[in-house]
């Protein structure tokens, strides 16, 4: 019995060794992943309507066979040259056993290369194939020439299986494609815009926000994802813009929390107290830079002044201010003083104003009282007539 078990153990060990050797052999023969080749397409303008398309390797791990296509816009370009004489392409040293076929109805040129059973790998870099095209229709825009699969209708730019060696390694190729650009003109305007993102503008109190896109062909701009202006968010608390000093009124207002625009601007005399904090209302948010609140909803005390001015008004007061007419009339009637823009004018100006007014009455009169010039004119009129 022991001999039988020992024999089974030996057989199991032998089977394990055989399986191990077999697995190592399979692993050694399995295809390896090889990065590359990296293929480039370079488009060059030739003459007035000619285009050269160069195909080359940027990096090349060594290939024994190639099957790929060069996809192009058959509505705008036509392959030129004589296929029989190979007049429109040339090859780098080392490329043999190839064929080129144009498929204008499908929009691609196919390239197939296999060196007749040779085991020699092509390891060169640079251009190995040049195709010549002629522009037959000038449609503004970017017209791409791309490396594609040998069956581009189904697989497009997927290059798996397009390059091979003699060891059945799995290549991972990449392609750097290029385009021919036809600019837009007044006589040949852009039809299919190619918009690309430029920048994003955030909304402000008075201006909308948006994302800006620009056509790379004709330069036309377009706004997308437009957000309306936010409107002002005026603080309920008062800000002192200028302190009172020697007859100059204190200026207070409420500022926008976002842009520092001002509303509800007031003048206070030296003895007047600051008003209470304003209750928040819908009118505190507005898209109008020069918003004026309804006096019924405002707690402006009598004798104060309300004006609308831009942010940079200090210390100069602009001409578009407006002042309480009752205050001006009352001050003139009482003969107290003159003021403009909430600022008390010097006494000399008041004295000059009184002098001008009295001189006018003395010369021309006022009401039923006639002045000197009026009396002289009456005397001359009576003497003549």
Same domain, 17 and 138: no
Provide the terminal-to-terminal Cα distance of the chain, rounded to the nearest Å.
170
Residue 200 Cα distances to 195, 212, 224, angstroms: 14, 6, 9
Give a yes or no: residue 363 inside a domain.
yes
Segments forming the whole domain that contains residue 16: 1-30
Q: pLDDT tens digits, residue range 272-285?
A: 888 888 776 544 54
Is it the case that residue 62 has pLDDT exceeding 80? yes
With respect to residue 178, please indicate whether it lies within any of the assigned structural domains.
Answer: yes
208 and 259 both lie in a single domain: no
Q: If you count them, how many residues does the chain have?
A: 385
Q: Residues 337, 289: one domain? A: yes
Looking at the structure, tell me whether residues 202 and 214 fall in a common domain: yes
Distance CA 126, CA 56 (A): 5
What percentage of the chain exceeds 70 in pLDDT? 63
Is residue 187 assigned to a domain? no
pLDDT attached to residue 48: 83
Per-residue pLDDT of 330-355, as tens digits, reads 444 444 444 444 445 544 445 555 66
Ramachandran sector of residue 76 (left: φ over 0; alpha: ψ -120 to 50; beta: rest) = alpha
Domain boundary among 182, 203, 218: 182
- Contact indicator for 111, 50 with CB cutoff of 8 Å: no
Q: Which residue has the higher pLDDT, 343 or 372?
A: 372
Helices 372-384 and 347-364, packing angle to 10 deg: 20
pTM metric for this prediction = 0.53
CATH code for position 110: 2.60.40.680
Confidence of residue 20 (pLDDT cuts 50, 70, 90): very low
Residue 263 located in a structural domain: yes
Per the structure, the count of domains in the chain is 5
Region at 244 (left for phi over 0; alpha for psi -120 to 50; beta for the rest): beta
Q: How far apart are CA 119 and CA 336, in angstroms?
A: 114
């Amino acid at each position: 019995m022991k001999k039988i078990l020992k024999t089974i153990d030996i057989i199991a060990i032998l089977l394990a060794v055989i399986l191990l050797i077999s697995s190592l052999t399979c692993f050694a023969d399995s295809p390896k992943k090889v990065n590359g080749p990296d293929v480039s397409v370079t488009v060059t303008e030739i003459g007035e309507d000619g285009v050269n398309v160069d195909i080359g390797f940027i990096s090349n791990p060594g290939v024994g066979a190639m099957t790929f296509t060069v996809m192009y816009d058959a509505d705008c370009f036509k392959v030129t040259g004589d296929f029989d004489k190979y007049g429109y392409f040339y090859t780098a040293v080392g490329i043999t056993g190839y064929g080129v076929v144009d498929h204008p109805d499908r929009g691609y040129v196919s390239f197939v290369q296999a060196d007749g059973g040779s085991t020699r790998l092509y390891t060169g870099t640079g251009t190995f194939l040049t195709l010549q095209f002629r522009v037959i229709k000038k449609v503004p825009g970017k017209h791409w020439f791309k490396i594609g699969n040998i069956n581009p209708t189904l697989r497009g730019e997927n290059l798996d299986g397009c390059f091979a060696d003699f060891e059945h390694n799995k290549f991972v190729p990449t392609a750097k494609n290029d385009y021919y650009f036809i600019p837009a003109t007044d006589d040949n305007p852009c039809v299919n815009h190619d918009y690309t993102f430029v920048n994003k503008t955030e909304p402000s109190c008075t201006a909308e926000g948006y994302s800006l896109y620009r056509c790379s062909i004709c330069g036309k701009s377009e706004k997308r994802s437009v957000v309306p202006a936010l409107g002002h968010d005026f603080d309920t608390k008062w800000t002192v813009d200028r302190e009172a000093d020697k007859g100059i009124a204190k200026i207070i207002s409420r500022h926008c929390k976002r842009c520092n625009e001002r509303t509800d601007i007031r003048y206070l005399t030296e003895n007047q107290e600051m008003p209470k904090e304003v209750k928040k209302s819908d009118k505190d948010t507005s898209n109008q830079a020069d918003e004026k609140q309804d006096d019924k909803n405002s707690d402006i005390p009598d004798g104060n002044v309300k004006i609308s001015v831009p942010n940079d008004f200090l210390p100069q007061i602009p001409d578009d201010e407006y002042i309480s007419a009752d205050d001006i009339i009352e001050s003139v009637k009482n003969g107290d003083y003159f003021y403009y823009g909430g600022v008390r004018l010097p006494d000399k100006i008041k004295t000059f104003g009184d002098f001008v007014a009295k001189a006018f009455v003395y010369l021309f009169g006022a009401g039923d009282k006639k002045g000197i010039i009026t009396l002289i004119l009456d005397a001359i009129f009576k003497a003549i007539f």
